[in-house]
Structure 1
């Protein structure tokens, strides 16, 4: 595949806050630690405090990896698991929900970014080791966000009434969605290879966390990826002191609320708002919020409640029953991992900016925030159509109407733009206004008003001319629609809608290898990959 790159700002698809962060806007500097560049990593590595017990982390990980077939875990991943025991080893982490069949393309892009950043850091700091990590959001409870994917414009959904942490959801009910997904893959190319991977993942493993681990390992183990499921008693025990402090003293609510006020004053649209208590109670199929009412800590929609002393005892004895929400999960991650970078999408980067004051409060290092690589996959057919129409792939980042209008203006043999004509008419009215004002000063504004009305009429006429000419070029404009719909399904970035499946069917594992080859984590440019 051939790669070309454009600035994120030029795509029109990323928030002003993300663009400002990448451009080193001084106003945002208080909300993160170090810049997302090699110098920033050099500074962080000099200041990095050791967090978490590596022996516990590796023990948990090795136990989790026993659930995978030995032959399917690469030597590089096993080496990375061993390296995590060494003090000069650090992680580069991305996280995401357990979307079925990996969900949209950006799931894949996130992990590739982590893999490449770990390689880049090793090249820059050869005396240290860097392990790419995928953090499974196995404690998330929003099943509706992960129970579907879109492939070839077809929505595949796993419709089932479930509750509790999604990682614990049984895979028994996924058969219909699995068959539909395999049906869309077809029988050509590498369809059978991918079909076997997803079939094994969702039928040989009893819950969604284990199924997702198998699927992600099958795709990325050759690159040394380590997969973490933090829904674990031993890992939660390390976090228990902060769980207790935060529930009782509501520190995160105070810290993050204050930060959000400052961000809003800068015009930043905050992504999440903290609650007074930012933990759920997690048992079996129950994951419900903890609230403080009538001097008791109560679990919503249950009869469970604790006094303060009972709560402390419960946290000490059963830390696995306390599940962090969206504002506390990042802190939990940084407590148990020797992490130096978090890779997320645009909205994630903004919400992490809300959290630094809470990290500072608890004395936990804040990682460097890296915007994940974004990309557009372009078929040979779409590229050829684009070239024949005299367009570039970058042109398609415009909205469809503007794209068509600009194409018509550039290609029509007829005079469609009335800008020159209006300039000439405008000069006539300016002379009339001067003359009329000499006769009667009140006629000047009247002449100006007539000029404005005529200007409006002239440009309405221009729109009608363009609309008429569009009918004359209907076939070409339909081709623009076809390419636009392929590259921007549903009217938004391809990576936010389309699943990776059909790209894998065409190229097999080479598809991911191409992403690894062309994605550049620290360049911060949008990647266009063309067959």
Structure 2
């Protein structure tokens, strides 16, 4: 699998916030703690190690042992779980929703980034142990975001009849209705050894497990267990018990809102935009098929759109008795992760890092070390045949990322036997009018507007002629235009990044069990480059 790369800025798919972060621009430095370099992890370990107790380590190991019961566990995973009890063990964490059959390809890239960073740190700090962790977002309730995957340009959607779909935490959802998805998926991928492997993976994950949490844990473990990936579900009473002091701060002091609102405003003023606007209370109430916002009104606390309410004293008592019923939202979940894990680094996509940049002040107020933030690996996977087509069409890798009309216009201009670029004529016209402006200045200044109007009219006329000529050339070169269009559509489904659209099974069918090992080999999380990976035939 030969690999090449582009800068993230060259792809034109990443925000200025992210590209400025990768370039360590001064404007962004106040919004993060340490930049992800091998050297900076040494200081991060000292800080995190001093704040993470032996009791927390013991509890984490116990909960993980419980969550892995009944699952076939590799020696690497078992060793990593047990290692959490040791004071020299730290986690490298990424998180993701419970998307059906992993959802888009970048699910794999996130976890590969965590695995490879843990491996790189082990080489640099051999006396320490580093565990890649996948945090399952079991408490989310955005069912419509996770109930489908895309394969061969088709959408495979789970139409759950579960009464709580869209309201309950998705991890609690039963897997009823996925038999139909399995049948459609099986018909789509056909026969053969690789297809059979994928069918078994889907069947065992979703048809032999009772809820989405268990199904996703099984699937991720099957894909990455040999690399020691530890999968954690934060929806657990023992883990939430450790979070009680922070739950109380959030409910009674609204600390996250007070800390992040000014930061969000500053990010906006710097032109970065705001990923998430904090609420006054950034917690949900999670119980009996319900996950709803907690709001405060006139001295009482309410669960939105229900009859559930408490006084301050009643709520404090309820938190102590049932911490598992309080679910962090996007603003408080990062803190929860860092409270219960000996974590050094969070790995996420551009949108995730954007809301983490709002949180540093919040972490400082509650005295929890802020982790190193790392942009996950990104990649475009092309087959050897697609790479050959690209070369024959004389399209550079950077040009592949252009908007389709820009790419076609550029290539038509390049391969035309006539000049479709009227820039010289436009410049000549501008020079001619410059003399007319000087003449108008010396005679009658009221004439300037008439000269300007005529210049605009004639330039517009040249632009229209250029467009018509380009259109005519596109018709004449329709074969090349068609081949360019087909190639880009294959690599950028729905005119978006492949990793955000295509399910891993589509690539797995082409490359088989070598896919993940090849990703492990070629994706370097500290490289900060967008990878283009060329796959050969199986």
Q: TM-score, normalised by structure 2?
A: 0.95
Counterpart for residue 240 of structure 2 = 236
Q: Measured at CA, do residues 298 and 448 of structure 1 come closer, stay the same or move farther in structure 2, by a change above 3 Å? A: closer
Cα deviation code 1:172-231 (max 9, x no counterpart):
222112222232222135110111011001111101000000000000011110000111
Deviation, structure 1 residue 443: 4.7
Matched, 1:321 2:325: yes
Separation of aligned partners in 2, 1:44 and 1:291: 36
Q: Measured at CA, do residues 221 and 444 of structure 1 come closer, stay the same or move farther in structure 2, by a change above 3 Å? A: same
Cα deviation code 1:236-279 (max 9, x no counterpart):
01111111221111111111112211211211211112212111
Deviates most, 244-253 or 220-229: 244-253
Deviation, structure 1 residue 440: 5.2
Which runs of no fewer than 5 residues in structure 1 stay unpaired? none
Matched, 1:21 2:24: no
Deviation, structure 1 residue 289: 1.5
Q: Measured at CA, do residues 438 and 281 of structure 1 come closer, stay the same or move farther in structure 2, by a change above 3 Å? A: closer
Counterpart for residue 56 of structure 1 = 59
Counterpart for residue 302 of structure 2 = 298
Deviation, structure 1 residue 431: 4.2
Deviation, structure 1 residue 393: 2.6
| Residue from 365, 389, 396 that aligns with 1:392 | 396
Counterpart for residue 126 of structure 1 = 126
Separation of aligned partners in 1, 2:426 and 2:293: 64
8 Å contact from structure 2 (residues 94, 348) kept in 1: yes
Deviates most, 56-65 or 23-32: 23-32
| Residue from 518, 523, 529 that aligns with 1:525 | 529
Alignment of 1:364-513 (within 5 A): 364-434=368-438, 443=447, 446-513=450-517
Separation of aligned partners in 2, 1:167 and 1:435: 76
Separation of aligned partners in 1, 2:516 and 2:493: 21
Deviates most, 327-336 or 266-275: 266-275
Q: Measured at CA, do residues 168 and 413 of structure 1 come closer, stay the same or move farther in structure 2, by a change above 3 Å? A: same
Counterpart for residue 359 of structure 2 = 355
Aligned partner of residue 257 in structure 1, secondary structure: helix
Counterpart for residue 258 of structure 2 = 254
8 Å contact from structure 1 (residues 189, 507) kept in 2: no
Q: Measured at CA, do residues 452 and 288 of structure 1 come closer, stay the same or move farther in structure 2, by a change above 3 Å? A: closer
Counterpart for residue 107 of structure 1 = 107
Separation of aligned partners in 2, 1:366 and 1:170: 36
Aligned partner of residue 287 in structure 1, secondary structure: strand
Q: Measured at CA, do residues 293 and 438 of structure 1 come closer, stay the same or move farther in structure 2, by a change above 3 Å? A: closer
8 Å contact from structure 2 (residues 160, 176) kept in 1: no
Separation of aligned partners in 2, 1:460 and 1:237: 68
8 Å contact from structure 1 (residues 106, 374) kept in 2: yes
Which runs of no fewer than 5 residues in structure 2 stay unpaired? none
Cα deviation code 1:398-419 (max 9, x no counterpart):
0011101110111011122222
Deviates most, 374-383 or 140-149: 374-383
8 Å contact from structure 1 (residues 51, 334) kept in 2: no
Deviates most, 272-281 or 181-190: 181-190
Deviation, structure 1 residue 420: 2.3
Q: Measured at CA, do residues 302 and 448 of structure 1 come closer, stay the same or move farther in structure 2, by a change above 3 Å? A: closer
Q: Measured at CA, do residues 301 and 67 of structure 1 come closer, stay the same or move farther in structure 2, by a change above 3 Å? A: farther
Separation of aligned partners in 2, 1:321 and 1:417: 65
Q: Measured at CA, do residues 294 and 6 of structure 1 come closer, stay the same or move farther in structure 2, by a change above 3 Å? A: same
Separation of aligned partners in 1, 2:114 and 2:205: 23
Counterpart for residue 140 of structure 1 = 140
8 Å contact from structure 2 (residues 61, 85) kept in 1: yes
How many residues align? The count is 528
Separation of aligned partners in 2, 1:389 and 1:170: 49
Q: TM-score, normalised by structure 1?
A: 0.96
Matched, 1:196 2:200: yes
Alpha-carbon RMSD across the aligned residues, in angstroms, is 1.6
Separation of aligned partners in 2, 1:259 and 1:95: 23
Cα deviation code 1:123-146 (max 9, x no counterpart):
111121110000000011111110
Aligned partner of residue 134 in structure 1, secondary structure: strand
8 Å contact from structure 1 (residues 289, 299) kept in 2: yes
Aligned partner of residue 4 in structure 1, secondary structure: strand
Deviation, structure 1 residue 422: 3.3
Separation of aligned partners in 1, 2:79 and 2:440: 87
Alignment of 1:37-56 (within 5 A): 37-48=37-48, 49-51=50-52, 53-56=56-59
Counterpart for residue 70 of structure 2 = 67
